[in-house]
Amino acid sequence: MFYDEALIYVKAGDGGDGCVAFRREKYVPYGGPAGGDGGKGGDVVLYVDPHLNTLYRFSKQHHFRAARGEHGSGQNRHGASGADLRIPVPPGTLVYDADSGELLGDLTRPGQELVVARGGRGGRGNARFVTPGNQAPRIAEHGERGQERNLRLELKLLADVGIIGLPNSGKSTLLAAVTAARPKIAPYPFTTLEPNLGVVVLDPETEFVLADIPGLVEGAAEGKGLGHEFLRHIERTRVLIHLLDGLSNDPLADMVTVNRELEAFGHGLLDKPQLVVINKIDLPQVRERWSALKTAFDAHGCPVMAISALTREGTQDLLYQVARVLAETPAEEYGFPREIPIFRLGEDEKAFTIEREDRAWRVRGVQVERMAAMTVWNLDEAVHRFLRALERMGVVEALEKAGVKPGDTVYIGDRELVWEE
């Protein structure tokens, strides 16, 4: 089975907690704060492995978690950072946020990487909170939570040339004849159940990748037959070989049928250069009607060639013609992955909203929820620091204007607070 789609869950590592500690050394009467910071959580990184050609791995494993950072400790010892989790994907993998549908990256080239979930930063130890007015702070932070998200992976094969056509037109036979690929070949429709790739080497300076796309049928763009599952793989190709069965009652009508499906699918498939080829010219009945077929296609404004994929008659001329068209067709440049801001503080992250929730209040906002999650609630100084931050951000004033009363419950993230004057 050809795996070209996958849904996975990724979770970056949480940051380690900061430490509250003080120096206690002989002959040091006034040991100061010495709590170290927690380590950063590991990132989840997708990278291109050119040796892969399917998403099969993700049919067995759906959850991926990076290592968390270690906690800080006394004597100003910082926790170690968690190791990044690196996940290989085949070239041509599109990465989407499964919940929002946003395209996060298009991984096409060996060496490309995409950080899909960033690890949380480590919490600060009390040595980081020393001020002239507080020489012995008892404040530390929990580590920041690593990002988690659901991803949808979609594979579009990277091939220079795609062979398209109705079932049983000889696409797999042609691929086997001109490359080292060995696809399944049999005298019945839908023999090929997945795309196959092969490399054509014409001379030391001319080679290209050829893909056999499973047979299309009328209505493929709406989901009929097998070809609709693989139409997207044609998007990456630069040139199409439109292979037609010379024994068909009407090869011209067959070509129109397939092109109609390409047009219905969209994505510029019909705009790609096509080389129209009649196959099975080795058969007497096809050779007899070749002149009439060529005349019909010429009248339709469509040049046509004749080959025999079985005996390889005419295949060399076809491949050199393909090479010439490829040389005239520039390769499409796919964008490198963007940087995904996850824990970067910006103006939007400082914003917050207040909502009435049953008999309680809910404060939402990236920065305020992050601060609540990182506050160590059993340290009084840490709690007071958090409350002062709420005042500076305007959360306290906004809650009062909204009508909060003493005794009301206020939720910030997963923290439950009770409002007091």
Element (H, E) at 399: helix 395-402
Residue 262 belongs to some domain of the structure: yes
**Phi, psi angles (nearest 5°) of residue 242:** -95, 100
For residue 50, the one-letter residue type is P
Q: Is the pTM of this model over 0.85?
A: no
Burial class (CB within 10 angstroms; exposed 0-12, middle 13-18, buried 19+) of 345? exposed
Q: What is the pLDDT of residue 392?
A: 92
Which stretches of 218-362 are DSSP H helices? 251-265, 284-299, 315-328, 347-350
Question: How many Å apart are CA 189 and CA 203, to the nearest integer?
Answer: 34
Cβ neighbours for 211, distance < 8 A, ≥ 6 positions apart: 157, 159, 161, 162, 163, 195, 196, 197, 198, 233, 237
Q: Where are the beta strands (DSSP E) in 118-205?
A: 148-155, 161-164, 196-203
Low-confidence ranges of the chain (pLDDT < 70): 1-2, 181-195, 215-230, 331-348
144 and 236 co-located in one domain: no
**How many separate domains does the chain show?**
3
Residue 141 belongs to some domain of the structure: yes
167 and 144 co-located in one domain: no
Q: What is the pLDDT of residue 181?
A: 57
145 and 168 co-located in one domain: no
Other beta carbons less than 10 A from residue 417's beta carbon: 19
179 and 284 co-located in one domain: yes
Q: What is the pLDDT of residue 398?
A: 92
Residue 67 token pair: 């290592």
Q: Are the beta carbons of 165 and 244 closer than 8 angstroms? A: yes
Q: Are the beta carbons of 18 and 129 closer than 8 angstroms? A: no
**Phi, psi angles (nearest 5°) of residue 184:** -70, 135
Element (H, E) at 206: strand 206-212
Q: What is the pLDDT of residue 165?
A: 86
The residue range of the domain holding 195 is 161-328
Q: Are the beta carbons of 54 and 94 closer than 8 angstroms? A: no
| Residue pLDDT, tens place only, 226-242 | 445 567 777 778 899 99
Cβ neighbours for 212, distance < 8 A, ≥ 6 positions apart: 163, 171, 172, 174, 175, 181, 183, 192, 195, 196, 197, 198
Residue 341 belongs to some domain of the structure: no
| Residue pLDDT, tens place only, 20-72 | 999 887 777 777 899 999 999 999 999 999 888 788 889 889 999 999 999 99
Give the CATH number of the domain where residue 364 resides: 3.30.300.350
Q: What is the pLDDT of residue 221?
A: 43
